[in-house]
Every structure is written in C-alpha cells, then in structure tokens.
Structure 1
Amino acid sequence: MREKLLRVGTTYLPVRNVDLSSDWYIDKLGAELSYKDEDKAILNFANQSFFLVKSNENQSSNFIDIRGNERFSLTFEVNGLDALEDIHKEFKENEIDVGEIEDRGHSGRNFVFYDLDGNKFDVWSELSPTFKEK
C-alpha cells in the first residue's frame, strides 16, 4: 500500500491567553503570525502551522502513559548534536523551561521544553531521512 498521508500540516495547542502565548511563540521560537483573533492564533514554524486555541485552565497537549509518566505529543527535529546543544543553550538563555539533554538509548540525543501553558515538547538531534533529502 502506497503512503496516502503526506505530512502533518497543522497541530492544535490549548492555551489560556492567545495574546501572551502567541507573543511567546514568536519571541522564543521564531514563529511567524499569520492570523489572530480572541479565540485563536495561527502561527507558522518548523514547516507547519500551529493553532493556539483558547482553552480552559489546566488543559495541555500532554498525556500520562501507563507507567504514570507525563508525555509530550510532539517532537521537533534539528540537524545533529551540535544543533541540539546550540538550541538547548539558546532556550536556556531565553528563559524557556527546558530539561537536560538526554541519552534515551536510541540514536541521537533529546531534551524537553515547555511553553507558557505547560505544553511539553521534545527536541531530537536527528533529522528524518526524508526531510534531509529535501
């Protein structure tokens, strides 16, 4: 069977304050704003669109796995360990809540970070082969 789904185009993230969150993503992650109203903001970065959707308190994109660990639902990729170390340092300097760089037993290294609303994200030092080809 041939692949029919070609890419992820949009990710939806719950936020409490659309203005504060969109400013955070623009300032901290270099996102570009393409639309904003009182209920949502549409940002473009990492080769896709992110909708920041106004939500109730204590909402996030995180989930708890079977062992009780909080998990992220999204991993960003950078091109190599040097790039991972550089962005980790930059995030710390920009006062983003970041975890330490980890060896998780597979190729590459990772670290996690959080946005203003506690949405947890992962960053991995390995680019997907398909993306490298492009």
Structure 2
Amino acid sequence: MREKLLRVGTTYIPVTNVENSYEWYVNKLGAELSYKDEDKAILNFANQSIFLVKSKESQSSNFYDCYGTERFSITFEVNGLTALEAIHRDFTDKEIRVGEIENRGHSGRNFVFFDLDGNKFDVWSELSPLFKEKYLITQ
C-alpha cells in the first residue's frame, strides 16, 4: 500500500446543548464557528475541524483505562512550558474547570481541562517536531 493516512481532519465531541457548547468553545477557547444547526456545530481551532454533536445526557468522549482511570481522547499542544503556564492561568481566569500542571514522567508538562459536558481534554507543553518544522516555529 503506497498511500497512508496523512492527518486527523475532524474530531467529533458529544454535547447536550449545541448552542451553549459552541458559545463556550468560541468564548473560552477562541474557536471559530463555521456552521451550526440544531444538531451540530462545526468549529475551527487548533488546526482542526471540531464537530459538536448533540448527544444524549451523560455522554462524553472520555473513557476508562484498564485501571479504572478516566482518560481524555484529545491532547492539545502548546509551544513550551511558559505557554502551558500562561494558558493554564487564562483558563483558570475564564473559570474553565482545570487540573493542576503535572509532571507525568516524560518530557514537558501537562494539565487537563473539561468542557460544559464533562469532556476531558489534555494540554501538553511540547509541540511535535513535524508541526514545528512545517510552521517554522523555532522556539
């Protein structure tokens, strides 16, 4: 097989109220709304298309690992520890539910945050080398 998958283009996130959720993502995370109807909203942010899809109550994108720990399905990247600390402060100031900045035993630091429906996301202080190279980020 010569062809291969090149990138993740779209992520789907379950939400109970499309209107409230898209406004939260736009106002709290700086997403751009590109489409909305009563069942979904399409957002552009973090170099990806994010679909907020109306779902049943208590549905989330989280899952539990073999030890019973609730996990996130998406990790966002920022460019360095200073950026991670700044976005953590910004999220805290915007009253986003955030965890503490953690050392998980690998390079960089992380923290988790949650949206209105309890979808759990991760933020990591290390940009991938390919992303840095493509967008000519030197720091």
Q: Same fold (TM over 0.5)?
A: yes
Number of aligned pairs? 134
- Residue type matched to 1:53 in 2? V
- 1:3 is displaced (CA, Å) by 6.8
Query: Following the alignment from structure 2 to structure 1, what is the Cα–Cα distance between the partners of residues 65 and 45?
Result: 28
Q: Cα gap change, 1:80/1:3 in structure 2, threshold over 3 Å: closer, same or farther?
A: farther
Could you tell me which residue of structure 2 aligns to residue 101 of structure 1? Answer: 101
Query: Following the alignment from structure 1 to structure 2, what is the Cα–Cα distance between the partners of residues 16 and 49?
Result: 19
- 1:90 is displaced (CA, Å) by 0.2
Could you tell me which residue of structure 1 aligns to residue 11 of structure 2? Answer: 11
1:14-29 counterparts in 2 under 5 A? 14-29=14-29
Q: Does 1:56 align with 2:56?
A: yes
- 1:2 is displaced (CA, Å) by 6.2
Query: Following the alignment from structure 1 to structure 2, what is the Cα–Cα distance between the partners of residues 106 and 23?
Result: 34
Mark the runs of 5 or more structure 2 residues left unpaired by the alignment.
135-139
Could you tell me which residue of structure 2 aligns to residue 77 of structure 1? Answer: 77
Mark the runs of 5 or more structure 1 residues left unpaired by the alignment.
none
The alignment-based identity, stated in percent, is 80
Q: Does 1:113 align with 2:109?
A: no
Query: Following the alignment from structure 2 to structure 1, what is the Cα–Cα distance between the partners of residues 113 and 34?
Result: 24
Runs of 4 or more off by more than 2 Å in structure 1?
A: none
TM-score (norm 2): 0.95
- 1:77 is displaced (CA, Å) by 0.1
